Structure formats: structure tokens, C-alpha cells
Amino acid sequence: MSLFDDDIMDDEADNIGVDAPTLSSQQGLNPPNLSSFFIGHETIERNMLDIWHSKRMPHAIILNGIKGVGKATFAYRLSRFIMSQSENDTSGLFGEDEKAETLDIRHDHSVVSKIASGGHPDFRAFGLPFDDAKGQFKKEIPVEDIRKIAPFLRQSSSNGGWRIVIIDDANTMGRAGQNALLKILEEPPKNALLILITHGAGGLLPTIRSRCRFVSFDPLPDSAIHELMQKSSPTPLMPNDMDLITALADGSAGKAIDLIQNGDIASIHAMIDLLVTIKDHDEDKLNSVALAYGKSGDKHAADQLVTLVQWYLQTLIQMSANGQDSLIIGYTDIKIPNGVTLQTLIKLKDSANDHIEMCIRGSLDKRYMIYKLLRIMQG
């Protein structure tokens, strides 16, 4: 299923009223299709502008990087810019003969509301459909959706400009979907742009990757994570909390924002304290943690604990590799246990990951997964 309604008529797009979505960067953070706030990848933006101004725009781009670093935000930002240029709106931010220095466009430009509402006749976006029965996104983009792209891109644009398609989570396309996409890339229509957003381009066929311009998004620097956290948090964050969330986010603003909005920061501090002192806790304590985090119907709590364990083990490995005995994060002083070598830590992480994977693959009880995981941590 398309992220937007593919059947919206062009005249509906022209009748968007005053309540139509507009860009805003004043309070909080908006979803990618509405966000004008972009930080941490200024070099990528400058390079893309140079390509645009030199009239060397490729027919397909892969935006690759870990989740939550701004790839989708950039995809919509670039799409809005190209559409606004296609309309040759001389009342826009830039004059007709003036070269744009950023991808910004006016907040009230008609392109903004049309793309945000799914009503732009020359724009489509596809991604993983939501499974209402299971309450989660499906694992693969349907091939039927990918097959809609070729006829759409081969149509004439509404104003003689560009037609653009964004495919989010493109690495989740199955073989049939990728083969359907490959046919488009082999004979790309003029003034048509495919933007593939991937969190690991290795999942794409080599023949697809070779036909796209590859743009790599690095993890965000701590300064960018801090600024994004300040925008997304309804209340000011304490410095120790910001330090902890930044460390856990590991360069992903999406992960940081999820921790702020869906996580209990106090419980995160408490869980890290438990991991630091894991060898001191008896079976009753481990059972109580497993019951609290593995209760039925609360997948988020179990996922959060697993993420914390994996982060903690990776932190210990990095500390050991760097010859660092101690690291203060937030309120907690993380130390490598006496006599524990780098090889031991790597084996411990492998054992923990193997257990997690086995439990997920076998749909085993979350309480068992958590209890056994904590026992593995005890060594």
C-alpha cells in the first residue's frame, strides 16, 4: 500500500484550504513529509544542489544509513525543492535567475501541502504497509506497489517538470519487487526521479545499486542529537539524561526521540545500574525484572531492555578495545569487570545475540528470553 492515497484526483489537490499541512520548525519535530528542519548533513545537501544546478540530476538515488539520521526528511526536502523548481514559481524564495543555496522552499508554497497530503499529481511515496491485525508494519513492500511505479513515472508530468517516487525501507523489497524496479531503472523515463531509502543497501540487488547514485548518511554528531532532543522533548532535559540518551542513540535521532517520547528515562538509568552490578543480583531479582519487562502485551518494554543489553555489551567492547577501564555516562560509572578480556566480552555479546535471535525466531515467551539473557550476562 502506498503511504499516500494514489487515487486522489488532481482537482482535489488544487482545492486544499487554509487548514492544509504546512511546514513548521518552530515547536517540536514534524514527520518527514512536513519537516523543514534538517541538520547534520549539510555537505550532502550542498552536493545535491551542485548536481541540480549543473543539470546532472540522476534518475535514481539511494539514501543509505542507519535508521533515524534524516534520510526520509532529506528525501521529502529534495522532492519539495525539485517540484517547486519545476513549477518555476517566480514568487518563491528564489528569483527565476537566482541559484538556490539550500533546499528550503517557502512554508506556504503549494507544493508543501500537496506532497504532505498525498495530493501532488507528480509525486508518490511507498513503504511498508501496516498490518492492522498484528498491530505492526509488515516485513516486505508488496510487489503490487512496486509495479505501480513504472506506469506512473512514464506519464507526462502535470506541468512539464519532474515526477518523483520515494520508496522508504527499499531494502525490504522482495526479489519480485526488486526485479520490477530494475525494469524501470534499465529504461528510466526522462525527468523522473526514484529515491530509495535504505537502512542497509546490501539487501538490494547489485544491478539496482549499480544503476543508482549512492548517498551515504553518517550517524549524526552529538551536537545534532542534542539539538533534536531539545526540539522534541516537551520539557527541558537534565544534562545527565541528555548524555545517557545521546550515548544510547549512537548517532540516530530517531532512536533518541523514541527514548524521550516512549521510554521512562529513570527506568533506563535503573536498568543500566542493574547491568553494571549484574553479578550481585540473585535469582529472585532476575525473575522480577523478567516479569516486569516481559509481561504480555508490552513488546516495547522487552525491546527496550534487549536494546539496553546490546548497547551495554557493545560499550564494554569499545572500552576494552580502546584500553579504557571506566566510562561515566549519565549517573552511572561503567567499568570493565576485573580480569575480563576483550575476547571474553565479544563471546558474551555473541552468546547474548544468539539467545535473542533464537527466542525471536521461535516466538518464545519474553519473560524466558529476558531471564536467560540476564543469566548469560552474569556469566
String of DSSP letters for 67-131? TTSSHHHHHHHHHHHHHHHHTT-TTSSS-TTSPPSSS---TT-HHHHHHHHT--TTEEEE-PPEE
Nearest to 274 by CA among 309, 247, 304: 309
Region 227-237 average pLDDT: 81
Q: In the predicted model, is pLDDT for residue 27 greater than 50?
A: no
Mean pLDDT score across all residues of the chain: 85
pLDDT at 258: 83
pLDDT at 18 over 60: no
Mean pLDDT across 101-110: 88
**Does position 53 have pLDDT exceeding 90, yes or no?**
yes
Tell me whether strands 163-167 and 213-216 are parallel, antiparallel or unpaired.
Answer: unpaired
Most confidently modeled range among 24-38, 150-164, 231-245:
150-164
Can you give the pLDDT at residue 88? 58
Whether residue 160 is predicted with pLDDT greater than 70 in this model: the reply is yes
Q: Which of 180-194, 254-268, 358-372 is predicted least confidently?
A: 254-268
Q: Give the residue-averaged pLDDT of 17-44.
A: 65
**End-to-end CA separation in angstroms for the chain:** 46
Percent of all residues in the chain with a pLDDT value above 70, rounded to a whole number? 89
Q: Round to whole Å and give the CA distance between 65 and 201.
A: 8
Read off the pLDDT band of 199 (50, 70, 90): very high
Q: Check residue 93 and give its pLDDT.
A: 44
- pLDDT exceeds 70 at position 200: yes
3 state DSSP class of 328: strand
Binned at pLDDT 50, 70 and 90, residue 29 comes out as low
265 has pLDDT over 70: yes
Assess whether pLDDT exceeds 90 at residue 174. Answer: yes
Looking at per-residue pLDDT, the higher value among 345 and 338 belongs to 345
- Kindly report the pTM of this predicted structure: 0.81
